[in-house]
Amino acid sequence: MAEILLFHHAHGLTTGMRDLAGTFERAGHTVHLPDLYEGRVFDSTDAGVAHARDTGFDVVLERGVRAADGLPDGLVYAGFSLGVMAAQRLAQTRPGARGALLVAACVPPAEFGGDWPAGVPVQIHGKESDPIFAGDGDLAAAQALVASAPDAELFLYPGEEHIFTEPGLSEYDAAATAAFTERALAFLDRVG
C-alpha cells in the first residue's frame, strides 16, 4: 500500500480534503494531510488565493516542503491546485518518490530544476475547459510532461470547474470525482 503526502487546494484543509484522505485510508493507504493554512478555510478560490498571496506563496510552498520532514522517502506526493506546487516539487526533488498525483494544476518540470525524474509515475487530472488549468498554461505543461515522461498520464474531464472534487463547493462534479477517485486508487495500488 502507498504512503501519501496530500496537499490541499486554495480553500484550505476542508471537509472534502479530509474525506478524500479517508477514502484513500479505507483502501489501505496511509495519508499525511498537512494544513498549509494553519487552520484557515475559505469559501471561495479567490479568498483562498488572496490568503496565500498575503501569507506569501513561497511561505505556503515551504510549509508543504517541510511537511515531508521526518517522513520516509518512498512517498506518493498528491496535490490539488495550489497544493500541486509542493507535491510536484517534492516528487521531483526529494529522493525515493513513488509517484505523484497532480489535480487541477501542473507546472513545467524545469521550474523545479529539470526534467521529470525517471521512474516516478505521475497522474495529472483536470477539467478540459477550466480557465485556470486550461487557460493559465497548466494543461500545456501537463501535455508536455506526458510527452516527455513514459510513466505520465493525463486525464481530462468535460467542463470548466476548477476544484471539481470538493463536495461542499458549487464547482463539485460527482461524475468527474468518481472517475478521478477510481483512477487515483488504481494508481496508488500500482505504485504502492
Measured in degrees and rounded to the nearest 5, phi and psi for residue 101 equal: -115, 115
The per-residue pLDDT for 145 is: 97
Helix (H), strand (E) at residue 23:
helix 15-26
Are 37 and 7 a contacting pair, CB within 8 Å?
no
Judged on CB neighbours under 10 Å (0-12, 13-18, 19+), 75 is buried
The per-residue pLDDT for 183 is: 98
Residue 168: pLDDT band with limits 50, 70, 90: confident
Number of structural domains, the chain? 1
Distance CA 161, CA 152 (A): 23
Averaged confidence pLDDT in the chain: 97
| Mean local confidence (pLDDT), 168-173 | 93
The per-residue pLDDT for 48 is: 96
30-74 confidence digits (pLDDT tens): 999 999 999 999 999 999 999 999 999 999 999 999 999 999 999
Q: For residue 13, give its domain range.
A: 3-191
Whole-model pTM: value is: 0.97
5-39 confidence digits (pLDDT tens): 999 999 999 999 999 999 999 999 999 999 999 99
| Mean local confidence (pLDDT), 75-79 | 98
Are 25 and 33 a contacting pair, CB within 8 Å?
no
Are 57 and 32 a contacting pair, CB within 8 Å?
no
Domain harbouring 95, CATH code: 3.40.50.1820
Distance CA 74, CA 29 (A): 13
138-153 confidence digits (pLDDT tens): 999 999 999 999 999 9
